[in-house]
Amino acid sequence: MAVFGTNEAKVLLPRNIADGMITEARTQSTVAALSGREPQRFGETEYIIFNDFPKAEFVAEGAQKSSTTGGYDSVKSAPKKAQVTMRFNEEVQWASDDYQLSILSDLASAGQVALSRALDLGLYHRINPLTGTTIAGWDNYVTKTTKRVEIGTAEADADIRAAVGLLLQATPSWGVNGIALDPKLAWALANLQTKNADGSPSGTQRYPQLGFGTGITNFLGVNTAQGNTVSGTPEAADTKIRAIVGDFQNGIRWGVQRELPVELIRFGDPDGQGDLKRHNQIALRLEVVYGWYAFEDRFAVVEDAAA
């Protein structure tokens, strides 16, 4: 049966395309590369957090047990819908099944990049990818953290160490299990050289495993991912952030609350680009509903000085 030759509004992606899309989306997102996705129900998701970890007590035989200290609170993540709408000439409805499937494959390829980048841009910076502007109503995002290192005269690895130190020396002390690098800082790290006894550069790469700074997966034993969503570009103006370090495994809680089918739209103006019938077009819309919460105090950023 032709994929578009139906009156049904919903078109299900073939499973092999859908599975591939989800897999590729994870490779495009630094959040997904460093922080595991978890199952979520649709709607607000509540997370319990301890304000003060309870302390155990050793009790002598026959002695009374004391009340242990500790308290807890909760935070909530709200659903956040991201969508991609693409237009095609309506003639694709009359093309062969193979060609129609190739259209869905193209949509999946473009959509997985857009939706995975949306996860990073929203969770890191509260940026709307389409407009490049911040979403004022979102007050929970990673780079809201007050733990910040401004890039100055120190070498790039010293700035990373300083950011890690802000977390490890804090009270309470949070672990550091992930680093998201902007390509500019990754390049700076890759270009560092060891030094001679007199302090001059030796000409030998300090971190040879970094190569040219592309495709980094590990730095000094910490899981690392590289991507320009760290700086928010090109969707938005450069945030000047060059690295985000912190507790990616526990400091970010995120999941896909609803993976929606492709919607086939034949009528109207679904994206403000003019009436579909007038332009002899159809539109395909792909949507995903994310849920997330970021404990921003578990992260530190390395950033360029403000202009």
- Percentage of the chain exceeding pLDDT 90: 41
How far apart are the C-alpha atoms of 195 and 180, rounded to whole Å?
Answer: 27
CB 247 within 8 A of CB 175: yes
Task: State residue 1's pLDDT score.
Answer: 42
CA separation, residue 124 to residues 5, 140, 250 (Å): 41, 9, 15
| Of the candidates 132, 181, 185, 220, the residue with the CA atom closest to the CA atom of residue 33 | 181
- Percentage of the chain exceeding pLDDT 70: 71
Task: Say which residue the tokens 């700074």 belong to.
Answer: 213
* Mean pLDDT, the chain, integer: 80
Q: Where are the domains of the chain?
A: 10-50+71-303
Strands 299-303 and 262-265, bridge-based pairing = unpaired
**Residue of 84 and 103 predicted with greater confidence:** 84
CB 292 within 8 A of CB 45: no
**Residue of 255 and 184 predicted with greater confidence:** 184
How far apart are the C-alpha atoms of 50 and 72, rounded to whole Å?
Answer: 4
What contacts 263, CB < 8 A, 6 or more positions away? Answer: 9, 10, 11, 284, 285, 286, 287
Task: State residue 93's pLDDT score.
Answer: 63
Task: State residue 63's pLDDT score.
Answer: 75
Task: State residue 94's pLDDT score.
Answer: 61
How far apart are the C-alpha atoms of 182 and 113, rounded to whole Å?
Answer: 17
Strands 262-265 and 281-294, bridge-based pairing = antiparallel
Tell whether the torsion through CA atoms of 128, 134, 140 and 144 is positive or negative: positive
CB 254 within 8 A of CB 31: yes
Fold of 10-50+71-303: phage-related protein like fold (3.90.1690)
Joined together, the tokens standing for residue 62 give 């026959």
In which band, very low, low, confident or very high, does the pLDDT at 12 lie, cut at 50, 70 and 90?
very low
CB 79 within 8 A of CB 97: no
